[in-house]
Amino acid sequence: MTRTRRPGPLQRVLLLWTPLLLLMVFTLFPFWWMLVTSVKPDAELYDVRQPPLWAKTVTFEHYRELFVRLPFATWVRNSLVVSAAATLISLAIGTLAGYSLARLRFRGATTLGTIIFVAYLVPTTLLFLPLAYVIRWLGLYNTPFALIVAYPTFLVPFCSWYLMGYFKTIPRELEECAMVDGCTRGRALRRIVLPLATPGILSAAIFAFTFSWNEFIYALTFVQSPAYKTIPVGVVGQLATGDVLFWGKLMAAAVLGSIPIALIYSTVSGHFAAGLTAGAVKG
Amino acid sequence: MPARLLSRDATLGYLWVTPALALLGTLIAYPFLLALYWSLTSRSAGSPGVFVGLDNFVYLLSGPIFQQTLRNTAVFTVVSVAAKLALGMAAALVLNQAFQGRNLARGVFLLPWIVPTSLSALAWLWIYDDIFGVISRVAIDLGLRREPLPFLADAFLAMMAVILVNVWRGVSFFAVSFLAGMQSIAQELYEAAEVDGAGAARRFWHVTLPGLAPITAVATLFSVIWTFSDFTIVYIVTRGGPANSTHLLATLAYQTAIYGGKVGEGLAVSAFMFPLLVLVIFLQLHFLRRAQA
């Protein structure tokens, strides 16, 4: 807690190393279980005489089958396209809205900020049924565009709110100087503000991409054809239904679906909480 | 700034928020109002139905499945959030100490939060498997049980099982929020408390906890929304079973409207999220205004 006095070795074991070990085991255990299962041959997997937490033989057969027998590559592609498209659209809309709310003085700006924050709090599980109707009405039901249109409903409020907070930290004087020198708002935004806001925009992009990559209930409801499914619903819908579950393949898919996100995050984990509660609390 | 620039600012402001507002209007506000209206109709998958007033709500409230679902949602939310709060604080106190590999440990601790919940929930379903699942196997191997442990066939154990997944997934959000909050507490306060003879426990109680109060409130409110509206974990691990004992509002709404085809009734189920959502929004805005004041 405090760094004013050095704790003794016994204190370190009791207050740091033991709880840390428990914490790490609790956190990592499901991932270990995923990984071990994904590389075990079926004969070993479904034999209670074999040790559960270890693989005697390592095989990549489950991984191979995902690509050979199942459209896993298609789901990966769909996840990538949907997440990237929804992220880009939401960043564009959110940058404009966030900048306006942070900088431009106009009547109703504060109310708009509140509306966007409230929209961020509305859970997807409250909206999915009527939104399915709107998606159908737009002719997008069961098309690759259904999710690209649906995901901005939570990404735009998030990006606007997050970027609004970020823009506020950039000194106003920089753009004002440029504008006094004859620069327009749009030019000042492009030439001065956006380059300075790159770290914030990049973090927003990573969060938005993750939210899209992980989204489940919209993907479950708005898309039916296996050809258009994203990884989460592809795996759950095609592999985890019926009485017999193929755990080797399921866990291989879980490993593959988790790795990209874990890799992306290893670059930004520092800004993590600040992003989600951005602006709600000082400091 | 000159008035000319300010008036131009206003025009640009409206112009630049228009895309966001148009999207929120058509894809959030409109469906939301539609949902409120349809919850008052007998709409089904096959027919638009007729206006029935509060019939769906009366019907739901008088039925055992819905009453059970309300209780489940309350238990799930209260127990999960309380556990995440307590465990998150403990984790933050551990991860805030100086040690080698601290950044790595913090990164690892974030993993459950960032990977797709649907996929990690599948891993938990497999952990809970009665014959080949690791809990059942280890219990038998250690001689604690003779028979496989039918984890998800028991109402109480199934609820504990989905709560555990939710806690595992959500605890790092609290821990990271607390860690951020701890950075903002002035070191002088700790030094002053130590000069006054306060031990570690008293420093935690009188300096750390009060300093973390604002972030605790905000993080808890976020967590309450995310927890009581949860769908994925229950949908994958128990499907609401056994005998509806783990159904939450979202999973029951899905089952009623999508499997059962009773859209009006399903929307009435999800409409029960609304009062708590309004309360949380109200409180969040209150903290927001205070933070900005």
Check A93 against B118: CB less than 8 A apart.
Answer: no
Q: What integer is the mean pLDDT of A14-26?
A: 93
Closest CA to A272 of B251, B205, B75, B109: B109
pLDDT at B5 over 70: no
When the pLDDT of each residue in chain B is averaged and rounded to a whole number, the result is 91
Minimal Cα–Cα distance from A5 to chain B, Å? 10
Residue B230's region, left for phi above 0, alpha for psi from -120 to 50, else beta, is beta
Which class for A71: exposed (0-12), middle (13-18), buried (19 or more C-beta within 10 A)?
middle
More confident call, B51 vs A174? B51
The partner residue sitting opposite B94, judged by closest CB among A16, A93, A127, is A16
Res B147: pLDDT: 82
pLDDT at A274 over 60: no
Predicted model pTM: 0.92
* Separation CA B288–CA A159 (nearest Å): 17
Residue with token string 């002719």: A139
Name the band, by pLDDT with cuts 50, 70 and 90, for residue A5.
low
Res A174: pLDDT: 83
pLDDT at B118 over 50: yes
The partner residue sitting opposite A257, judged by closest CB among B116, B137, B140, is B116
pLDDT in tens, A190-225: 888 899 998 899 989 999 999 999 999 999 999 999
Distances (CA, A) of B43 to B34, B266, B282: 12, 10, 31
Check B266 against A261: CB less than 8 A apart.
Answer: no
Res B293: pLDDT: 65
Lowest mean pLDDT among A28-32, A189-193, A205-209, B220-224: A189-193
The torsion angles phi and psi of B51, rounded to 5 degrees, stand at: -70, 125
Which class for A224: exposed (0-12), middle (13-18), buried (19 or more C-beta within 10 A)?
middle
Name the band, by pLDDT with cuts 50, 70 and 90, for residue A2.
very low
- Grouping H, G, I as helix, E, B as strand and the rest as coil, residue A20 is helix
The torsion angles phi and psi of B34, rounded to 5 degrees, stand at: -55, -45
Q: What integer is the mean pLDDT of B235-247?
A: 93
| Percent of all residues in chain B with a pLDDT value above 90, rounded to a whole number | 62
Res A132: pLDDT: 94
Res A1: pLDDT: 47
Q: What integer is the mean pLDDT of A251-255?
A: 96
Res A33: pLDDT: 94
Cβ B88 vs Cβ B171: under 8 Å: yes
pLDDT at B192 over 80: yes
pLDDT at A4 over 60: no
pLDDT at A105 over 60: yes
Closest CA to B97 of A5, A267, A271: A5
Give the 3-state DSSP-derived string for B29-60, with helices as H, strands as E and coil as C: HHHHHHHHHHCCECCCCCCCCCECCCHHHHHH
Q: What integer is the mean pLDDT of A97-123?
A: 91
Q: What integer is the mean pLDDT of A1-6?
A: 53
What ipTM did this prediction achieve? 0.91
Name the band, by pLDDT with cuts 50, 70 and 90, for residue A125.
very high
Interface of A with B in 159-178 (CB under 8 A): 160, 176
CA B272 to chain centre: 16
Which chain A residue lies closest to B176 (C-alpha atoms)?
A273
Res B158: pLDDT: 96
pLDDT at A3 over 80: no
Res B74: pLDDT: 96
Beta strands in A173-281 (DSSP E): none
Cβ-Cβ contacts under 8 Å, A125 against chain B = 229-231, 249-250, 253-254, 270, 273
Cβ B262 vs Cβ B256: under 8 Å: yes
Check A130 against B200: CB less than 8 A apart.
Answer: no
Minimal Cα–Cα distance from B77 to chain A, Å? 15
Res A227: pLDDT: 93
Q: Is B180 on the interface with A (CB under 8 A)?
A: yes
Distances (CA, A) of B122 to A40, A255, B39, B234: 17, 11, 32, 11
When the pLDDT of each residue in chain A is averaged and rounded to a whole number, the result is 88
pLDDT in tens, B119-129: 999 999 999 99
More confident call, A50 vs A6? A50
Res B128: pLDDT: 93
Q: How big is chain A by its Cα radius of gyration, in Å?
A: 24
Q: What integer is the mean pLDDT of A144-169?
A: 94
Lowest mean pLDDT among A75-79, B78-82, B238-242: B238-242
Res B7: pLDDT: 64
Lowest mean pLDDT among A11-15, A108-112, A278-282, B168-172: A278-282
Distances (CA, A) of B204 to A2, B192, B221: 10, 13, 23
Distances (CA, A) of A216 to A77, A85, A231, B118, B224: 16, 17, 9, 7, 19
Cβ-Cβ contacts under 8 Å, A282 against chain B = 184, 214, 291
